[in-house]
Every structure is written in C-alpha cells, then in structure tokens.
Structure 1
Amino acid sequence: MTPITEVEGRRLALSNLEKVLYPATGFTKGELLHYYATNAGALLAHLHDRPLSFLRYPDGPDGQVFFAKNVPPGTPSWVTTAEVPRSEGPARMVIVQDLASLMWAANLVTEFHTHQWRIETPGLADRMVFDLDPGAPATVVECCEVALWLRERLAADGIEAYAKTSGSKGLHLLAGIEPTPSEDVSAYAKKLAVEAEAALAGRVTHRMTRSLRPGKVFVDFSQNAARKTTATAYTLRARAEPSVSTPVTWDEVADCNDPGHLVFLAADIEPRLERYGDLLAPLLDPGHARALPG
C-alpha cells in the first residue's frame, strides 16, 4: 500500500520507499525523499520561478534514464505550471515553488535541471554558467585549475563567480548577471572559453568535438542558450552513488589535488549547509548581479 503523506496541507502518495535506487551504497527511495525534505530550503531557492526539466531515473541510475520537459501525466492541479516559448511552439512546464511540489517531483525520482532565466522573462538570463567537463585522464582537479583562471578573468570584468560540483565528474561556475538576452550571455561566455583555451594551452578546449577532449577540460558555454538547462544546486544525480551538485568554497577549489576531495553525497549536505549556509546565496540577490561588459 502506498503511504499518503500530508505536506503543507497537500496530500501526497509517496511510493516504493524501500526500493534501493543506488545499489553501490544501498541508498533507498525513502532516503532520497528524506534528503530532499531535509535540504528543501536551499534547493527551493534555486528552483523558484524557473521552469523545470526532469531527468528521471525511477529504477536507479542503472535503469532507464529519460529526460522530460513537459508537465508529466498525473501532475496534481496544485503544482505550478507555466507556458514556455520554444522554437517548435509553446510548451507547458513545471515550476517547483513550494515543499509539497518538491516532494511530489522528488517522488518521481528526478534530477532537477533549470534554465538560466526566470519564467517572467524567458530568454532573459539572470545568471551565467560554465560547465567544466574533464576528458579522461583529466579530472575535477584540472577543472579546478581552469575554474580559478576563469574566476580571475571574470573578476577583471567586475563579475564574481561561484563554484559547485556538477555531482558528476566536473565543476560548474556560476555568476549573477543583470538580465541579459541569452544569446548575448552565450557570446560572452564563448569568448571567455576561447580565451581560456589560448591561455591554458593544451589543457582546455572550447569545442565539443569528442576527439579533442581527452586529457583536456571542455569549457562548455552552451548551457547559456535559452533552450538549455543545467543541473540545479543541491540536486541528487543519477550516478553510481547518491552524489549531489554541491556548492564549494574557493579555498576548496584551490586546495583540490585529488578528485575525491570534491565528491559530496547526500549525507554530506546538511552538515555543509550548517557550516557554510548556502554558498550560492549571492546568486539569489539582485544586488549582486553585474552587467556584462558592453
């Protein structure tokens, strides 16, 4: 029998609580839901007003993994949805605005992926992202070197960068910007990626071509495109272990000399929030947003 839970006055059916989603560690569906309930405040702040793409893995990362942007069948009427413009015509997407909606979405077993813009201004980005993706044998250690270079380069333009792990192999760099058309953000981010490739010769590529990537860090600027989404801070990932896309300090980035130093699992997040608060909180403050150089 599926237990019915009440969350903020909403009735939710939470299913398969004993199901093991991460066989490597025995982490269950119930533990996943507990993780999201415990750390909801931090995650909800980054989901607020942003249309959500679901990367679902209902049978764990070894089962079927599929991407969904449209409102899933059976979505409760009290979950906020909004029409979003797309090149192929408008679509309706979910926006997770409260704890009940978060727990409903978490029960679907999903990675949370969001755009760099808010629903009231589609295609007008208020944040910029660089996805630093290492090509083996490069690791997150090399990503950290590139992140430090990009941080300084952004600072030269008056832009403050913040870092989080991707929850996979790499690192995400984020910056709060004054609302700017996504294509302009993409152009600026590409310019910096090209500069990084020149400055860090042999260690960086700005091109997606697989054959160029072994041993290098791919500086992926493409997630600034209006149609693209990026894994949200504090989302669990469909990896072998219950890893989390985790905000990190610049000291942690600078001191990273082993890939294991920047792997954070579900159990690590609550203590980190108690210690640091949300390291990405400045991204939520319009007072910290900066204009891109004209």
Structure 2
Amino acid sequence: MENVTLFQIKSLLSSYHLSPKKKWGQNFLIDQNLAKLIVKETLQGLSLPKEVYEIGPGLGSLTEFFLQEDVFLKAIEIDRGFCKVLFDRYGANPRFELIEANVVDYLFPQIKNDKILVGNLPYNISSLLLAKLALLSEPFPRMVFTVQHEVALRLMAKIKTKDFGALSVLMQYFFNIRRIRKIPKEVFYPAPRVESAILFLEPKDTALTMTEPDKYAFYAFVRKCFSQRRKKLAKNIGLSLEERPEEIPPGDWVILWKELKKSRIEKKVGSCIN
C-alpha cells in the first residue's frame, strides 16, 4: 500500500468525490517524515503488540505507517466518505478496525496498559476532547496528539501568564506533558491558518487515584474560578485567599477544592446541629 502523499490525497478526494470539511477541521498530514516521527514517538520504548486508537484518520496519513508496525489499529472517523476510503484501503487487514463515530461522544472501552491514543485533533474540538480524556476514570497510559499550537501553549502554560487557565490546571495536574516539536502549517493539506505542535502525554499518579465524579467536580470548581480570572479567589469562592486564579499552581488547586468541600460540609453539619 502506498503512503499518503499530497498527490495521492488529491487523487483520493477526486476519485471518491470528496472534499475537506471546515466544520470538522479536516487537514491532512502530507509530510511523510513527520508521520513516521509521530508513529516512532507513539511506540517508543513499548513492547508490542499494542492496541492503538487513532482519532480522525482521514485518508490514512498515519494509519498506513501504524499498520506497518505490530499494532492493532482502531480508527475513529466521523466522515462517512472518509470511512469508505479507509475501508477500501485497509478493510482487508485483520489488524485494522474502523469505528464510524464522533469521538467527542464515543465511549471508550475499559482502558488497559495495552491501549494507546493518537491523532491529529481537529482544532474545533481539541480543548473539549482533551478535557473529556483527562476526566476519564481510567486514562490512556499514553497519548500523542497534533494540536493547534495555541492549544499546546495553554496546556503547558506557566502560572501568571495569559495562557494559563482551567484547562492548563486540569491537564498539568493529571498528566506529564512534553512537546515533541512545533510544526508549520505547510505540512497539512489544506494548510490551516495556524501552526501546530505534537504533544506527548502520560498520566501522573494523580490521574489514577481520583474517581471520575471527583474529577468532574474538581474541574467544575476550577472552571468556575477562572470564569472571573481577574478577581481574587476570596470573592470567587469565599475562602480567605488574596491570589487570583492565574497565580495558583496546578498542584495547589486540589488543596483549595478539598478545603472548600470541607468548609461546606462543616457549615451543613453546623446548621443541622443548631
């Protein structure tokens, strides 16, 4: 099977009467060296075989290279036209499975150590999807994503910067995040308006010890605080704090959340006694 080059992408789109849809943020990776790099980084140091979930495979820019390795690939694609192309190209491969679904709504099965998540995330859903993945009760042990560079900056932002926000707190508290490299817009077809970055994420112990309901409650608390990021936390949540949300390191947010829960419980108990 040939690798997906720009010429082949255009040929496939033409022969299947398809075109990239802006509403789904469809941009195809056309740099073969980058595709190989993503596969290499995804599988680096792992014993194979592994089960790889690929988000938004499109026409198979990464799929082809993954199937050259000893992995079982499950491709999650929302576009029916692209699903037709993928099935025609890889459907006969016993190590390939096509899942026609919107990944934002897709319920991942129980995640074990042999499962990995990878993908070129559509820009319009990347923040929502990353939050969903962070809030899973059992996170993927490894995730490698291409995201809009602006999103990468938010995920890795330091405190007291404009990029530091609720998503920064969530992802940094639950994951070790490494930027593999920044990539120019010209490596995609059609070229997006912005640059991208490849990120490598692995869960911290904090992601394994907190229950899913607590994760959702914690993130709701952080988002509420950042909804008025210029106000001091004392005005936002009622605790005696002079800091603003952007000044609190990710590791301290859980302490604040637990203190607030404790104070509310004590108030409820006190009102019942009185």
Q: Which has the higher strand share?
A: 1
Q: Which has the higher helix share?
A: 2
Q: TM-score, normalised by structure 2?
A: 0.32
Q: TM-score, normalised by structure 1?
A: 0.30
Structure showing greater radius of gyration is 2
